[in-house]
Amino acid sequence: MEVDFKRLVAGLTLIFILGILFAVVNGIYTSTTNQQLPLIVYGISFLSILLGAFLVISFQWKINRMQLEKVLSILPREERIIVKILLDNNNQLEQNKVVVLSGFTKVQVSRVVQKLVERAVVEKKAMGNTNLIVLKL
């Protein structure tokens, strides 16, 4: 799963703002009580941030998976099989291995891959005697 650069910057900015808020709250707390915030407050905040990040990533992964299933359901059977093979193999695989795993002939795989390239679902890169098929989703 790729992380969107804008979301990463937004997340880091929010964490930075949270740090500033902690400094302000600590300053106010220190000036009124002559003590610093207890260390446990920082620990709980840090754990909350980690838990929130984990939940966001988990739900984003689930949403991406559901969207991918919808996309796969509209593809023709042969294209769906090849995309699933690519998904199961780290989103890329040599074309000759796709032939073996799919059970299709070389010509069938070549035609299906060409259709997927035209739809911008996969990218085909020359690699010696075969091609590397890379999923672009």
Tell me the residue length of the chain. 137
Question: Could you tell me which CATH class the domain 76-135 is placed in?
Answer: mainly alpha
Q: How far apart are CA 89 and CA 87, in angstroms?
A: 5
How high does pLDDT run on average in the chain?
87
Tell me what the mean pLDDT of segment 68-78 comes to: 85
Q: How far apart are CA 39 and CA 10, in angstroms?
A: 27
Question: What band does 2 get if pLDDT is binned at 50, 70 and 90?
Answer: low
Question: What band does 3 get if pLDDT is binned at 50, 70 and 90?
Answer: low
pLDDT at 97: 96
Q: What ranges do the domains of the chain cover?
A: 5-73, 76-135
The 130-135 sheet, strands edge to edge: 92-94, 130-135, 122-127
pLDDT greater than 90 at residue 104 = yes
105 by DSSP, 3-state: which?
A: coil
Q: Which of residues 63 and 28 earns the better pLDDT score?
A: 28
**Angle formed at CA 83 by CA 81 and CA 89, multiple of 5 degrees:** 105
Note if the pTM is more than 0.85.
Answer: no
Residues 46-60: tens digit of each pLDDT: 888 888 888 887 787
pLDDT at 40: 86
Tell me what the mean pLDDT of segment 77-88 comes to: 92
pLDDT greater than 90 at residue 132 = yes
Residues 22-36: tens digit of each pLDDT: 888 888 988 999 888
